[in-house]
Structure 1
Amino acid sequence: MIDVILLEDEPVLRQELGEFLDEEGYRATRTASLAEFEQHFQAHRHHLAVIDIGLPDGSGLQLIQRLRQSGHPLGIVIFSAKGTTADKIGGLDIGADHYLSKGCDLEELSATLAALARRMELRQEKTLWQLEVGPRRLLTPNAVHIPLSQQDMLVLHSLMQQAGNNVSREQIVQDLGADFMHYDQRRLDSQMRRLRRKVETLSGQPLPIKTLRNSGYCFYERSRVCG
């Protein structure tokens, strides 16, 4: 995975952005202030950064200037509520690669990071996730076995046997053995949130499932399903 460091002081937005980046296949380090950024930033590991510029302990622009002066090969995207032309010009002049307003769709942020990663010739690590149906467990790339409930196993089976493809909510619900017309969609969302938390807590790795807004999910890394 490509490591991204996120600097956003607003807690709800920081959580939303962090989860979105995880779902997009990045390993996101979340920070809330300049001090936390300085504490957690590792030049050898973090290749991309998403930085707010209005922070409680200083300016994100000054941080970007310091990063550029240090010579670190870091792709920087400003993600700010300040969206005037003057703001954008100032951010780009000081060293940011891209400047996005917080009102933009997150898919634009995803596309911007992907383009930046391509330009920097960054590559996602090839990993393999293995679903073991018989014992109902998930083997992560770092060799951690995650025990699964029957429902979790069925959801992962539906997604991992079509890894790389978009799987509709209707297909997943059918694979769960339920009637889609009478199924409460919030149950699937809640189950997915719990499953993501469980996998990351036990293995330290985000579950590589991308949420397709209002349509379904996609397991986006290499996988194997076995008995």
Structure 2
Amino acid sequence: MHDLILLEDETVLRDELGEFLRDAGYRVDVAASLDEFRRAYDPARHAMALIDLGLPDGDGLTLIRELREQGRQLGIVVLTARGAVRDRIAGLDVGADYYLPKTSDLDEIAATLAAMSRRLGDAPAPQPQDAWVLELSPRRLMPPGHASVALSEQDLVVLRELMREAGGIASRQQIVEALGEDYLSYDQRRLDTQMRRLRRKVNEATGLVLPINTARSAGYRFHAKALIRP
């Protein structure tokens, strides 16, 4: 995948986006201001940029205009709280390729970046034709065409809930209760951490991106063919 630079001044959102995109397989550098972006941006390496507009030291539109005037060919996605039509037009006019509101689902952002990556010439990841198989005993996940991945008990429970709902959304409450926890008192950050670790485990073991999309505030969706075996 292409290298990506993320410019976002909100710490929580920057961390969330950075981690999500790394889990999706991108190599991500982050910046919190125009100055940090200019110091971190490497035109020889960064092929895509995700840019906020309202920044502590200026406007992201100025940066986009500057990059285009320099002849930079990187793909640019604007991610901003400015949702008016005139703002979207202004962003596209100065050289942005896509314009997304900050309320966008993480999967919409990932899909937009994937579309831009294809346009830039990045080879699409191979799509498995066979099922991902979850074996309950022994605890392991068998990705199509790859060796099995050993799972912890928590990994197994989470994947079982996701894969039995393959194609649909497994709610956060459904997953938490399957883990034997009380949903009302459960710290939701624990589930997010569990998902990041699971994605990373599969990616490091196989080089594949685990086919799970995040449905923000709702749950997760396993979007590949799935089979569960005893």
TM tier relative to shorter chain: 0.5 to 0.7
CA RMSD across the alignment: 4.7
Larger relative contact order (Cα-Cα within 8 Å, sequence gap ≥ 6): 1
- 2-side partners of 1:22 and 1:221: how far apart? 20
- Which residue of 146, 152, 156 corresponds with 1:153? 156
Displacement after TM superposition at 1:8 (Å): 0.4
Q: Which amino acid aligns with 2:60?
A: G
The alpha-carbon distance between structure 1 residues 207 and 37, as it changes in their structure 2 partners (threshold 3 A), is farther
Q: Which amino acid aligns with 2:33?
A: S
Partner of residue 98, structure 1: 98
Partner of residue 31, structure 1: 31
**Percent identity over the alignment?**
41
1:167–1:217 Cα contact (<8 Å) kept: yes
In the superposition, the TM-score normalised over structure 2's length comes to: 0.63
The alpha-carbon distance between structure 1 residues 217 and 188, as it changes in their structure 2 partners (threshold 3 A), is farther
SS in 2 for 1:105: coil
Displacement after TM superposition at 1:150 (Å): 1.0
SS in 2 for 1:100: strand
- 2-side partners of 1:170 and 1:69: how far apart? 46
The alpha-carbon distance between structure 1 residues 154 and 217, as it changes in their structure 2 partners (threshold 3 A), is same
The alpha-carbon distance between structure 1 residues 139 and 8, as it changes in their structure 2 partners (threshold 3 A), is farther
2:176–2:182 Cα contact (<8 Å) kept: no
1:196–1:207 Cα contact (<8 Å) kept: no
SS in 1 for 2:73: coil
User: What count of residue pairs does the alignment treat as equivalent?
Assistant: 220
SS in 1 for 2:77: strand
Q: Is 1:210 matched with 2:213?
A: yes
CA offsets, 1:146-176, max 9 Å, x none? 874312222124435776x335239965994
Structure 2's unaligned 5+ residue stretches are none
Partner of residue 73, structure 2: 73
Q: Which shows bigger deviation, 194-203 or 93-102?
A: 194-203
2:52–2:79 Cα contact (<8 Å) kept: yes
The alpha-carbon distance between structure 1 residues 55 and 21, as it changes in their structure 2 partners (threshold 3 A), is same
Partner of residue 11, structure 1: 11
The alpha-carbon distance between structure 1 residues 20 and 116, as it changes in their structure 2 partners (threshold 3 A), is same
The alpha-carbon distance between structure 1 residues 93 and 47, as it changes in their structure 2 partners (threshold 3 A), is same
Q: Which amino acid aligns with 1:168?
A: A
In the superposition, the TM-score normalised over structure 1's length comes to: 0.63
Displacement after TM superposition at 1:28 (Å): 6.2
